[in-house]
Amino acid sequence: MGEPGRRSVARLLPKLIADHAIDVVVGNGENVAGGFGITPDLVDDLFDLGVSVITTGNHAWDKKEILDVFPREPRLLRPANYPAGVPGRGSYVFTTPGGESLGILHLMGRAFMPTIDCPFQVAKREVERLKTQVSAIVVDMHAEATSEKMAMGHYLDGLVTVVAGTHTHVQTADEQILPKGTAYITDIGMTGPLHSVIGIKKELAIEKFLTGMPRRFEVASGPTVFCALLVDLDATLGKAVSVERIRVMD
């Protein structure tokens, strides 16, 4: 979330990668540019910091200069259930330095969100396609409604390796391995300002709630929180072995 979140990633991610021997880092980057969208330079910065694949969401298009990047950078994903003709792609197959392959699928919910194609129907189609290339698949389910994310987790249980929710900026405490072997969390949470309203200056958010008037939001400052989900998986079987929620005050 904005510059504070980027600083937190720069300080903490390389150490986490080293400490846990992490092979693949999937990071949601839709809020890195001042809280709204992502720019070409920030895409490069996240890759340089160790992020392997960047997902986005409903703020994918907030910076017009990013539109040309989506078609030419396969590691930058927009939700797969946007209609045909939208720039970019919704999935990617990442190969680790050790030669193991992992599919990344990005979906977006429709409850309280922009009306796009059905994420469940698209998930079924995309998972079937990815399964011809890989056994292990990680899904970023970018959605507002807890129920929609939970439903997707159970819908894909046993078919994919991870279903991780994003979008609400508040980490949930329900990390688990579902009955058929899929790691799940309703929301990974935000990396950004701790003393804020989902990353925004709390005074501005409170004013908007009090008055109901339009207000230009700004990213908060101060101490940050780094949120992530660490999953150990069997790339051959496509199953999760363990799952751990990470929340570090920075």
- Between CA 182 and CA 177 the distance in angstroms is 5
The answer to whether residue 59 is catalytic is: yes
- Between CA 68 and CA 61 the distance in angstroms is 11
Residue 232: how many CA atoms within 13 Å on its side-chain side?
5
What amino acid occupies position 48?
D
Q: Which residues contact 147 (CB under 8 A, 6 or more apart)?
A: 111
Q: Which residues contact 22 (CB under 8 A, 6 or more apart)?
A: 16, 230
Contact (CB, 8 A) for 217 and 200: yes
Q: Which entry of 20, 59, 167, 169 is annotated as an active-site residue?
A: 59
Task: Write out the catalytic residue numbers.
Answer: 59
